[in-house]
Copies of this chain bind each other. A is one copy, B any other.
């Protein structure tokens, strides 16, 4: 990667810094939002904020590690010999990807038993998906990357199945004012997540070098912002609409009682 230009170095560094600021701001937004929703949706917002909190920490580390890996002076970029620690991403995903599915389940307001069983199943599949992807990411051969990448796709496809088939009844049962948003949250999950394997397999077909690396780093960063902060805004809106419906329902009952 000795041929990286200063423009490429800066674009990646600034994307990391942008992402830290977005995640930190999103965290505070979600936690302030807790007091605006009904108690039953507060845990969903706590976790939504935890996801962006954990991501903010990792993007701070990633930006630091990027800065330490390269020296920029007199218009040229030279590697310092310190490795850029890309594994922060996997550490982050191992924690945040299961939590993203848990926040979706929590905001749907299912029965306690269904909440627990679906959270455990989806969270477990998500953790498995990340854990299987990691050996491929650090594999020295393209075949290793293919093997683990395909292994990791199995829990991914199972999650997609659970979201579109397993949850379809629960989504149809959502109150009308929240149904479209829950459906959108499901689509954001699948579409934003589909970007990760594209980047992953770009490495397996030998796309390498400074330009490819720049695309990969910026691409992962944009996908993380959509999947965590963007998705979180949908969760917040769902919690808010459903809380308003509860409040309106409660006042409607009061009116009837009078």
Contact = CB atoms under 8 A, between A and B. Distances in A.
Contact of A87 (B10, B53, B81, B90): B10
Contacts of A87: 10, 14
Contacts of A82: 72-73
Contact of A83 (B6, B90, B92): B6
Interface residues of A, number: 47
Contact of A36 (B22, B42, B49): B42
Contacts of A47: 29
Interface of A: 6-7, 10, 13-14, 17-18, 20-22, 24-25, 28-29, 31-36, 39, 42-43, 46-47, 49-50, 53-54, 57-58, 61, 72-74, 81-83, 85, 87-88, 90-92, 94-95, 138
Given A10-B87, A32-B42, 11 more contacts: A10-B85, A17-B88, A18-B94, A18-B95, A21-B95, A24-B54, A28-B46, A31-B32, A33-B46, A35-B42, A36-B39
